[in-house]
């Protein structure tokens, strides 16, 4: 008998979390094997591993505790991946060398599967003087474009590309350009963006006062605070970004305010973190903890909750020691504070089971009580762990207990920490839990309402095709099993389509009171919401104690990840049907392993002769035939010129890896064709090609057109990059084949490089 409540749950497990060999052979025979692998791995550091393995397995069983995907997929394997979900990178220095050092660290972190956040407020504004080079600064937005391009080329561990968060202070001189950056539908698509809003700014907005934009000690511009606020609101009204982070509240409430300052969050916003901060995530599944669901006596099993929370805290604390880290600075930061992010999922389903309408004042009261119960249990468990294993190294009782969060804690919790210390500096966070909620049987995700009680989900298969599968909410499925398929739904069965925006805010504020980090929450608003009413949502979030606010209003730029479609006749009126779309900005769900390589493949080899290069480059592209359609499977780039060896090998491996993931791979062409060599490009067959990499991109595009994967040159791409040639001589200059400089001159009858001394004559 399967443990899975829905077919999609088993598919998610098989694709994302089931341990397999490189050839696809499953090592986890069942989901119980997965639970056993995780429990055994996290119990290894215990003095009594057998005892705790049994306890950990019991927490995982029946999807009651859901470690985040990194832990579920990586614990107990020999994979070189991090088990942490969230990273905020180091403070970006305001120097060219420092900026690109940070870029390298970002690439290394995303390579191991971590989502990252950066505060770009530390980079001087556009037009500021750069001393020593007689130039003006290009500003933080230009460097964000570089980060965005890097992220596009790196596939994070698993099947999704890396995710990034960019923040900027509301007083930075370039904040207006930051606010409007997403109005360009092709720009910064790999970033989520949020403005760091201070209390002083919010007071200036309410008072309709002036606001200075500064960097260092210089005031660059003075604006009206309300005008700037309206620009933020208008952008997120039109383009769903930027979000708003109430940064002063975050730092004021932070347990570690005495030893860290926070200026950025992870990509989804639930983890405000200091430089090199990292946090792992896990969720208590409320939907599995309701006794007598949909009955008159339905209630949350609080004793079971207390025990589960204590076990989960211990498991997550052990992850700190079990995980690998992309950077030593991240490992040191995690060890010093032992931060964890225990959250919840299935809240909306659980409220349905106990008869509460999500968004009502009664539901908010229940939510606050449940979240307080989790916070109490987590802090008491961490204090007991400190008594057993020691407090986190930077623990200092007096300032810790004086922090904003700890001042509202019950006195018995404060007394326990004063006596024993605490093992984990921060303990609670609410993540979006999109994938793990599906894995748990399609329970409602995080603290979000049920988006739809039934919908059709488009699933990307390995051959690039998409199939549709109906997905039914866990609570609805349980209700029908109890009362019949045709039973009328009670009035409190509400979903995101019927909720007022202020209902969302009420629920977020109720949960935030007992979450020491933050909450990933999207407030869905109707497309026709009045702009003033839209602004009221953000002001209400600020006034009611939220740490941030993110809304989503359907728009032409980002589209709609889930959208209501026409209801078929067989579907009850209470059950809207939704279709998951996969436009730019939406997450594509890959429900398959990488494409397997057959013994033989068809392909073509192309010769590319780059001017001034002694040796040609040969590009071989092999294709896979699937459903009667050829699609690229692998690429080999070869040249006798050893100077090209390293980058051609790297390019071969990266592009082949992208091809083998399936789906739409035309972005490879776009990225390569957009590369411009600062030394200049070359004229080939009457067309200016901006770099050798762009020429390779052109060859790949030619091949994709030839096999019918693309309709024509530039087809399927957001842009067809074209070089802009400025002040070019009528005769193209030759570059040195050794160092690439353009200082070739005739010396004793032979072309010689004045830069490096290379000469064809020896």
Q: Are 324 and 460 in contact (CB under 8 A)?
A: no
Residue of 86, 151, 268, 736 with catalytic role: 268
Peptide bond just before 180 cis, omega within 30 deg? no
Pairing of strands 164-169, 191-197: parallel
Token pair listed for 317: 């604390």
Residue from 428, 325, 427 nearest 87 by CA: 325
- The torsion region of residue 421 among left (phi > 0), alpha (psi -120 to 50) and beta comes to left
Q: Please name the residues in contact with 228: beta carbons below 8 A apart, sequence gap of 6 or more.
A: 170, 175, 176, 201, 211
Chain center to CA of 519: 14
Which residue out of 260, 270, 333, 634 is catalytically annotated? 270
Residue 87 main-chain phi, psi, to 5 deg: -140, 140
User: Within a 13 Å sphere around the CA of 156, how many CA atoms are in the beta-carbon half?
Assistant: 23
E strand residue ranges, 718-758: 744-747, 750-753
> Within 10 A of 611 (CB to CB), how many other CB atoms are there?
13
CA angle 723, 727, 730 (to 5 degrees): 95
266 is catalytic: yes
Contact 76, 40 (CB under 8 A): yes
Cα 602 from Cα 706, distance rounded (Å):
13
Spell out a b/e string for 62-99, using b for 16 or more CB atoms within 10 Å of the CB, else e: ebbbbbbbbbbbbbbeeeebbbbbbbbbbbbebeeeeb
Q: DSSP label at 35?
A: H
Strand order in the sheet with 629-639: 602-608, 617-626, 629-639
Alpha-carbon span 441 to 410, nearest angstrom:
35
Q: Which residues contact 243 (CB under 8 A, 6 or more apart)?
A: 192, 193, 194, 195, 236, 269, 548, 549, 550
**367 HSE (CA, 13 A, CB side):** 35
Backbone angles phi, psi at 206, to 5 degrees: -65, -30
Bridge partners, residue 221, by sequence = 213
List 266, 318, 442, 524, catalytic entry: 266
753 annotated active-site: no
Task: Give strand pairing partners of 637.
Answer: 619
Which active-site residues does the annotation give? 266, 268, 270
């Amino acid at each position: 008998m399967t443990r899975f409540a829905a077919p999609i749950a088993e598919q998610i497990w098989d694709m994302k979390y089931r341990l397999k060999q490189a050839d696809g052979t499953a090592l986890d025979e069942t989901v119980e094997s997965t639970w056993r692998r995780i429990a055994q791995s996290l119990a290894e550091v215990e003095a009594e591993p057998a005892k705790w393995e049994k306890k950990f397995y019991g927490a995982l069983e029946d999807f009651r505790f859901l470690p985040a995907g990194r832990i579920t997929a990586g614990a107990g394997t020999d994979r070189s991946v991090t088990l942490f979900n969230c990273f905020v990178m180091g403070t970006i220095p305001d120097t060219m060398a420092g900026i690109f050092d940070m870029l390298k660290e970002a690439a290394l972190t995303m390579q191991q599967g971590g989502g990252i956040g950066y505060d770009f407020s530390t980079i001087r504004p556009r037009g500021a003087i750069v001393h020593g080079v007689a130039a003006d600064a290009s500003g933080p937005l230009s460097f964000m474009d570089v980060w965005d391009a890097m992220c596009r080329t790196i596939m994070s561990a698993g099947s999704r590309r890396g995710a990034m968060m960019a923040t900027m202070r509301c007083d930075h001189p370039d904040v207006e350009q930051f606010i409007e950056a997403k109005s360009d539908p092709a720009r910064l698509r790999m970033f989520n963006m949020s403005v760091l809003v201070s209390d002083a700014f919010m007071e200036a907005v309410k008072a309709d006062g002036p606001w200075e934009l500064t960097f260092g000690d210089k005031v660059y511009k003075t604006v009206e605070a309300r005008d700037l606020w309206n620009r933020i609101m208008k952008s997120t009204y039109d383009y769903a970004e930027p979000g708003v982070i109430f940064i002063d509240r975050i730092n004021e409430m932070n347990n570690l305010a005495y030893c860290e300052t926070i200026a950025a969050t992870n990509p989804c916003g639930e983890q405000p973190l200091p430089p090199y901060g990292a946090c792992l995530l896990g969720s208590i599944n409320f939907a599995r903890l309701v006794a007598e669901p949909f009955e008159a006596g339905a209630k949350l099993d609080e004793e079971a909750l207390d025990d589960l929370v204590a076990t989960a805290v211990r498991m997550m604390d052990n992850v700190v020691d079990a995980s690998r880290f992309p950077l030593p600075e991240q490992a040191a930061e995690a060890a010093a504070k032992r931060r964890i992010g225990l959250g919840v999922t299935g809240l909306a389903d659980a409220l349905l089971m106990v008869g509460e309408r999500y968004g009502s004042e009664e539901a908010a009261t229940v939510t606050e009580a449940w979240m307080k119960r989790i916070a109490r249990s987590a802090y008491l468990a961490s204090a007991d762990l400190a008594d057993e294993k020691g407090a986190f190294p930077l623990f200092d009782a007096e300032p810790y207990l004086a922090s904003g969060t700890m001042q509202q804690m019950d006195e018995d919790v404060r007394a326990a920490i004063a006596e024993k210390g605490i093992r984990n500096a921060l303990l609670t966070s609410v993540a979006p839990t999109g994938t793990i909620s599906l894995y748990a049987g399609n329970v409602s995700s995080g603290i979000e309402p049920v988006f739809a009680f039934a919908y059709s989900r488009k699933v990307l298969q390995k051959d690039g095709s998409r199939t549709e599968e109906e997905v039914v909410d866990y609570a609805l499925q349980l209700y029908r099993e109890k009362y019949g398929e045709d039973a009328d739904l009670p009035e409190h069965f509400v979903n995101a389509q019927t909720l007022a925006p202020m209902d969302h805010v009420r629920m977020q504020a109720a949960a935030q009171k007992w979450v020491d980090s933050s909450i990933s929450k999207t407030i869905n608003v109707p497309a026709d919401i009045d702009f003033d009413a839209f602004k009221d949502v953000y002001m209400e979030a600020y006034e009611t104690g939220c740490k941030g606010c993110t809304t989503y209003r359907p728009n032409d730029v980002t589209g709609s990840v889930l959208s209501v479609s026409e209801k078929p006749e067989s579907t009850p009126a209470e059950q809207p049907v939704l279709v998951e779309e996969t436009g730019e900005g939406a997450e594509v769900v890959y429900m398959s392993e990488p494409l397997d390589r057959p013994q033989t493949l068809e392909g073509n080899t192309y010769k590319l002769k780059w001017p001034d290069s002694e040796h040609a480059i040969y590009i071989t592209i092999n294709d896979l035939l699937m459903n009667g359609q050829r699609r690229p499977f692998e690429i080999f780039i070869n040249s006798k010129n050893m100077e090209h060896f390293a980058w051609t090998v790297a390019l071969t491996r990266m592009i082949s890896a992208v091809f083998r993931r399936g789906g739409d791979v035309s972005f490879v062409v776009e990225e390569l064709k957009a590369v411009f060599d600062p030394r200049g490009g070359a004229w080939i067959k009457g067309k200016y090609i901006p770099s050798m990499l762009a020429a390779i991109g052109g060859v790949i595009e030619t091949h994709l057109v030839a096999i019918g994967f693309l309709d024509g040159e530039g087809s399927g791409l957001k842009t067809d990059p074209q070089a802009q040639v400025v002040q070019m001589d009528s005769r193209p200059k030759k570059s040195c084949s050794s160092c690439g400089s353009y200082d070739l001159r005739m010396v004793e009858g032979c072309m010689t490089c004045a830069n490096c001394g290379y000469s064809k004559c020896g």
